[in-house]
Structure 1
Amino acid sequence: MSGVSIIGAGLSRFGRQPGVTGRQMALEAVRAAVADAGVSWPDVQVAFGGSDGSGLADTLVGDLGLTGIQFTNVKNGCATGGSALVSAIDAIESGRADIAVAVGFDKHPRGAFDPRPEDWGLPAGYGEAGLMVTTQFFAIKIARYMERYGITAPTLAKVAAKAYRNGALNPNAWRREAMAEEVIATADMVNDPLTRYMFCSPGEGGAAIVLASEAAVRRLGGRPVRVLAAASRTRGFGSFEVFAPAVQGSGDPTSVSTDAARAVFELAGVAPSDIDVAQLQDTESGAEVMHLAECGFCEHGEQEKWIAEGRTEIGGALPVNTDGGCIANGEPIGASGLRQVHEIVTQLRGEAGDRQVRGAPRLGFTHVYGAPGISACTVLGV
């Protein structure tokens, strides 16, 4: 169990923001987080941050203040924000700092992501064959999973519908209109079995978190949320991941999300069944289905019943993606993981308004997953 707490959380609005740069969104998020913590930028001793395509995070000091701070750039795909957070936690636990910032931001153009295979250790022919199109991978993975565990297409529509309902309650979300399951299910097919409204879109936004040591929390007071544990992992042999879609060895593919979740629960000294509210990577609705089981919240195949019974709704036994997740917020790659943490902090503080989980939640969980097989998880508590 760590001795680190989150003392501040800040967010920009997510979604298309013409004329606003990714850096400006990052600055908005950092300034909001610092103000929420009741400190000023010169109080921050170390920072970690990243963006996939909107510039270097360390250059933000030109606007935040030239204090000579150690600021390390992080780039870990969709796990960038989670990895920045883990690095900031490590810095405090090591005694190098009492107050740290993690920030993530991005501003992506319309359309699908267009990664280069060479950047991922793959030959050019991999891209020429169309295998760098992420929607294909997501469809292949969930189709295989549905066949093996009996998950049906209506369940995918239910997950997306929940995301849009929750997004409608979130003032910072991009997609703020509820959408009927039938509309989602019958929309244009992108890659079977996933329709257009089951996917998140490349988006825009910034998120930042201020963390502090036990000594700093005692000095500052405020509304701290404890980081009970944080862990990140890369893929192991036998995994089946974005840009690495091969089943190696024998038996079922391994899961980096399972590895990271298992590690964080062990470090925190709690079980998945103890969690009151969770944020799971939902690049598309099939991902949320798979991650429910991969992170240990249910057995494989049980998701069909869970979702039908409303267990993952805001009023359910395990509310998942209460802010609308990636589906409603879009995915600015650098910001997504920290947006998740912001939402859990908001829920544990009891400040989520119309989307507040009932019963004063005490434990929250976050999970991000990025190509080509990186996962970062946290357990937070009050």
Structure 2
Amino acid sequence: MSTGVSIVGAGLSRFGRQPGRTGRELALDAIRAALLDAGLAWTDVQVAFGGSDGSGLADTLVADLGLTGIPFTNVKNGCATGGSALMSAVNAIRSGSAEIALAVGFDKHPRGAFDPRPEDWGLPAAYGEAGLMVTTQFFGIKIARYMREHGISERTLALVAEKAYRNGALNPNAWRREAIPADDIAAADMVNDPLTRFMFCSPGEGGAAIIVTSDAVAARLGRAVRLLGAATRTRRFGSFEVFSPSIQGTGVPSSVSADAAAAAFAAAGVSPSDVDVVQVQDTESGAEVMHLAECGFCKHGEQEAMVAAGETEIGGRLPVNTDGGCIANGEPIGASGLRQVHEIVTQLRGEAGERQVSAPQIGFTHVYGAPGISACTVLAV
């Protein structure tokens, strides 16, 4: 099904520690870059959606952008905040209520781990007192089980992270811009077995913005990337998720990432085999491994051979996380999903410089977060 929606502008702030700058300022950087990219002014935007996990209310950005009176809705949906903002903007175009819409996500997290409160997630205080709100434990448990079931080695986890840092070194907006050898990654401090320090992303800082329009506006502006399909989903019974790390029921656990990806591909009318460049959530390197299969790009267990053969490299058969992903860019919760879309738009336009994939036609983005939510898009030129 054609959505009749195109992306005409994509903008980023720099990612990483930026002392003296607020999350709001990073959002403004991204919005202004997206407007410039589209050849539009703020006064052209008819509706906006955006949010952050902890850096303020997106609608208040109008105080700096201009008091034009447009509807601006705040979105807060965990790691899917950016993806949910984009879905809202897309639906505004689809419904005919606007022809030019903005989605923005931003955050500025302090150093250290995220510190969610159990009560905010419908969990008893004792859950946090037992240390189960520490997300690294969940990621360690989940990938350890997956590796045992599907024959994935710890070496593969190190190679995925090595690729992330190598790609980040080619990305001028990335936080981590120094390559790290796989041997050093594997030998680094263990955080939660089998994941070492360099296999994880860090809570970070950054903003990302996307401008979507109707087909008529896109034709006038040019440089449009078509949004073929987009979907968000929440977890179903039997899933194995952040803050609920147990398997309920019998059989194979359900996957919210698989559900969201399947819905996005169905809406787009294409299959995973048609995709030329991919962004998947890599909160840690094990997540990239699992999400490649969950999103339909390989069978479970095939990732070991794919990674070893270099298939997920920039010059490989299926380039993955060409901008360095979360591992190299960090995880500003509100911005990550839209950063992924920015990278795919950049790749499809042929504007990625040293990290450019050879003539991609279709791209895919996937974000996953607590307590079991996913957002996916399929884009094309």
Equivalent position of 1:373 in the other structure: 372
Amino acid at match of 2:364: F
Which whole-Å CA distance do the structure 2 matches of 1:263 and 1:297 have between them? 15
Is the Cα contact below 8 Å between 1:170 and 1:323 reproduced in 2? yes
Distance in structure 2 (CA, Å) of the matches to 1:90 and 1:349: 24
Name 2:188's counterpart in structure 1: 187
* 2:25 aligned residue: 24
C-alpha contact (below 8 Å) 1:4/1:93 kept by paired residues: yes
Give 1:85's aligned residue. 86
TM-score by length of 1: 0.99
In 1: Cα distance, 2:119 partner to 2:153 partner? 36
Aligned-partner Cα distance in 2 for 1:369–1:87: 18
Please list every run of at least 4 consecutive aligned residues from structure 1 whose deviation after the TM superposition is greater than 6 angstroms: none
Residue 101 of structure 1 corresponds to: 102
Between the aligned partners of 2:245 and 2:141, the Cα distance in structure 1 is: 9
Structure 1 residue 311 and structure 2 residue 291: aligned? no
User: What are the within-5 Å matches in structure 2 for residues 213-362 of structure 1?
Assistant: 213-219=214-220, 221-358=221-358, 360-362=359-361
Deviations 1:317-376 (A, max 9, x none): 000000000000000000000000000000000000000001x10000000001001100
- The whole-number CA distance in structure 2 between the counterparts of 1:181 and 1:128 is 35
Offset of residue 35 of structure 1: 1.0
How far is the alpha carbon of 1:244 from its aligned partner?
Answer: 1.5
Two-structure CA RMSD over aligned residues (Å): 0.5
Deviation of 1:129 (Å): 0.5
In structure 1, what is the Cα distance between the partners aligned to 2:94 and 2:254?
A: 30
Aligned to 2:77: 76
Aligned equivalents of 1:214, 1:301: Cα separation in 2 = 41
1:339 aligned partner, one-letter code: R
Aligned residues: 380
- Kindly state the Cα deviation for residue 278 of structure 1 after the two structures are TM-superposed: 0.4
Amino acid in the other structure paired with 1:107:
K
Q: TM-score w.r.t. structure 2 length?
A: 0.99
Q: Which residue of 2 aligns with 1:114?
A: 115
Question: 2:219 & 2:316 partners in 1: Cα distance?
Answer: 35
Q: Which residue of 1 aligns with 2:45?
A: 44
Which residue does the alignment assign to 2:137? Answer: 136
CA distance in 2, matches of 1:273, 1:42: 40
CA drift at 1:222? 2.4
CA distance in 2, matches of 1:336, 1:328: 12
Distance 2:72 2:240 in 1: 33
Report if the CA contact (8 A) 1:38-1:222 is conserved: no
How far apart are the structure 1 equivalents of 2:245 and 2:4? 38
Show structure 2 runs of 5+ residues with no match. Answer: none
Unaligned runs of 5+ in 1: none
Which amino acid in structure 2 is aligned with residue 125 of structure 1?
A: A
Q: Distance in 2 between matches of 1:370 and 1:222?
A: 34
- Name the SS of the counterpart of 1:238 in structure 2: coil
Could you tell me how far 1:216 is from its partner in structure 2?
1.2
Name the SS of the counterpart of 2:296 in structure 1. coil
CA-CA distance at 1:218 after TM superposition:
2.5
Please give the alpha-carbon distance, in whole angstroms, between the structure 2 residues aligned to 1:201 and 1:218.
40
Identical pairs, percent = 79
